[in-house]
Structure 1
């Protein structure tokens, strides 16, 4: 499986990345071993992720998300949180 994810940094900015193991990658970010962007913005918090079977799909989606504005990313994150809450209530 391949994943794209968005983490929220301490300074309220977002970082979007790709991985095969979200837990390992989040741990790496928070240990300062992740992307250069996040190293000085610790800690980071996972706020969104998507799963793909093919690497090419995940990389295309990662690129598409990186092109979104901050507001569009917040809307994407908000929709996923809302959907999770609705599912939990069912």
Structure 2
């Protein structure tokens, strides 16, 4: 079985991060508002980024990690700019000290 971690761009410009074992079905649920919650109030939504994961645990861990990131860091990751992600991670680390 394949699992996914994903980021949606909501109509208000915000991002929603989640994980699933059926990305196509979950996207349909988000787009119709049937899953309720955050995205149901911010329709329409579009898939901004997704990554395949080997296990549900890996997908959940990635979701929780990404949820803790700044908007800029999420956007750098979605653009594949890993240098900027690394830079932003260092900034996050120095802020926490």
Count matched residues. 80
CA distance in 1, matches of 2:36, 2:47: 14
Q: Which residue of 2 aligns with 1:71?
A: 72
Q: Which residue of 2 aligns with 1:49?
A: 50
Large movers: runs of 4+ above 2 Å: none
Structure 1 residue 9 and structure 2 residue 10: aligned? yes
CA distance in 1, matches of 2:63, 2:36: 15
- Runs of at least 5 residues in structure 1 that lack an aligned partner in the other structure: 81-90
Report the Cα offset of residue 26 of structure 1. Answer: 0.7
- Runs of at least 5 residues in structure 2 that lack an aligned partner in the other structure: 82-97
CA distance in 2, matches of 1:19, 1:12: 22
TM-score between the two structures when normalised by the length of structure 2: 0.78
Structure having the higher Rg: 2
SS at match of 1:33: coil
TM-score between the two structures when normalised by the length of structure 1: 0.84
